[in-house]
Structure 1
Amino acid sequence: MNPVLHKIVETKHEEILQGRGKSLPPRKIPVRPWESHLKTNSISVIAECKKGSPSSGILRPDYHPVEIASIYESSGAAAISVLTDSQYFFGSLSDLTSVAEAVEIPVIRKDFILDPLQIDEAYAFGASAILLIVRILSPKDLTSLHQHAKGLGLSVLVETHNKNEVKTALDSGATTIGINTRDLDTFEIHKNLIEDIASELDSSIIRVAESGIESYADWQKYKGIVDSMLVGTYFMKSKNIAKDFQSLLFGN
């Protein structure tokens, strides 16, 4: 685990300790179906709301997640990912709630989840799905957290970075597997990873391409290989999200 990722995980453990015993708000919206939105006749889009990241810094100084999410929904996004980490990605749980209440498509809490408390938070603040990252979890914890989320009726996107992690994800019961082309140890993008891994997954698995997607050519490249693409930085750098959303899907 590289120093940045290690520091993020340390911070998460501190946040979990601080959150123990705090009451959570009652959930206000229904849990929305995830699988039926992602698995369609084409490649669906999970569009991401994130102000910045450790590798890129501030991506969108004028960041209004509800406004962005509304554009995503009207543009045809199947689901919305909301970064809730505050220290490294400049997000919050209030962003999650605001977006979940503003749209009618499923919203996933994207964070570094290590403990059932964070899943309980995701549920309380309106998420319909959560992200679990194989790289930062033991197989036992991955399975336990996956079962905890399912027990609340939440869907789970399990993120992987190589074939060994995919096997671990499948063993945990994962039915939606993300293939992240950004190596969390080096932050480098390995685009061929999608083709190498997705083609070996059973068609019953929802396959999600993550990171480095920024053009119509990428969209075309992944047709027939994945079911969905998670796109964040491309949109966050856009001056016209609605226009660039259509360009991603249909070309210029």
Structure 2
Amino acid sequence: MTILDQIITRKKQEVSYSKSAVPLEQLKDSGFFGRETYSLKQTLKSKSGIIAEFKRKSPSKGVISENADVLDVAKSYKTYGASGISILTDSEFFGGTFDDILKVRNEITIPILRKDFMIDEYQFYEAKSIGADVVLLIAACLSVSQVQEFTDLAQGLGLEVLLEIHTEDELAHYNENVDLVGINNRNLKDFKVDLQHSVNLKNLLPQNTLSVAESGIYSVEDFRFLKKKGFDGFLMGEYFMKNPGEAFDKFINEISS
């Protein structure tokens, strides 16, 4: 089994448990369920274009910043000009929790991406109930019909959709209702990074599709290369998480100079 296979197997177990523990109607009673969401499509155009990520660990890098305070990190990201904040909610593989979004939702006024492995309708109601604005759909673990179904569901709940692809075959998962397309520079099956591969895929997307370069961006040079190639957004986490506030501030200053 690949790491992605292991994650999805575990995720199915987690969702099954959550459904039995917290009924759907209880999620709808959340104080955040009726809030008006922020638009990542809009903030990508008006701010830095960077979706700064909060991530404690990952299967590819191990522990990144185990004791980081999510509220301190989120506030610093917002202060220094992030277009949005991505927060991992997968616990076993990435060290995230729902509480990480709940802690910051009322403290920041930019979009929050719930980054997780969305495989069931129930998870979209979860995302809405904890105050997320955007959800991630990963083509590698969904069928074309699931992406269409989940896109419609998310947007019906007021959530924007970031569809993540990595291969040319996965372009078939795109539909015109998807808000943004993320192209993962890192292969989820073997974790190799290839920026040029992402550029090649971006060039196959329909014209005017908002595109986000995801993962494996480790330098100002990487950022500038992808920006020059026409990417609208940049999802970055590991680069900042060792020293989030200072590293993000320095990066913003360097790309602005």
Name the TM-score class by shorter chain. Answer: over 0.9
2:6 is matched with 7
State the alpha-carbon separation in 1 of the partners of residues 104 and 201 from structure 2.
Answer: 32
Tell me the secondary structure at the aligned position of residue 120 of structure 1.
helix
> What is residue 220 of structure 1 aligned with on the other side?
224
Aligned partners of 1:45 and 1:79 also within 8 Å: yes
Report whether the alignment pairs 1:82 with 2:87: yes
Higher deviation after alignment, 200-209 or 48-57: 200-209
State the one-letter code of the partner of 1:6.
Answer: D
- 1:28-107 alignment, distance < 5 Å: 28=32, 29-40=35-46, 44-107=49-112
- TM-score relative to the length of structure 2: 0.90
Pairing partner for 1:250 from 247, 250, 256: 256
Change in CA separation of 1:212 and 1:242 when aligned onto 2, cut-off 3 Å:
closer
Q: Deviations over 1:46-88 (max 9, x none)?
A: 0000101011111013211111010000110000000000011
8 A contact 1:60–1:236 mirrored in 2:
yes
Query: Shift of residue 248 of structure 1?
Result: 5.2
Aligned-partner residue type, residue 12 of structure 1? K
| Length-normalised TM-score, structure 1 | 0.92
Return the alpha-carbon distance in structure 1 between the equivalents of residues 31 and 57 of structure 2: 27
Unaligned runs of 5+ in 1: none
* Residue 129 (structure 1) aligned with residue 134 (structure 2): yes
Partner of 1:161: 166
Q: Which stretches in structure 2 are left out of the alignment for 5+ residues?
A: none
1:230 and 2:229 are equivalent in the alignment: no
1:219 to partner: Cα distance:
1.8
Amino acid at match of 1:67: D
- SS of structure 2 residue aligned to 1:20: helix
**Aligned mates of 2:49, 2:254 — CA distance in 1:** 12
Alignment of 1:104-183 (within 5 A): 104-170=109-175, 173-183=177-187
Q: What percent of counterpart residues are identical?
A: 32
The AA in structure 2 aligned to 1:125 is I
Equivalent residues, number: 248
What secondary structure, in the 3-state scheme, does the structure 2 residue paired with 1:108 have?
strand
Partner of 1:205: 209
Contact in 2 for aligned 1:39/1:206 (Cα 8 Å) = no
Residue type matched to 1:106 in 2? P
Distance 1:198 1:39, change over 3 A: farther
2:222 is matched by which residue type in structure 1? D
Shift in CA distance, 16/201, structure 1 to aligned 2, threshold 3 Å: same
Asked whether the 8 Å contact 2:164–2:183 carries over to 1, the reply is yes
Counterpart CA distance in 2 for 1:18 and 1:180 is 30
Letter in 1 for 2:256: F
Q: Return the alpha-carbon distance in structure 1 between the equivalents of residues 144 and 222 of structure 2.
A: 32
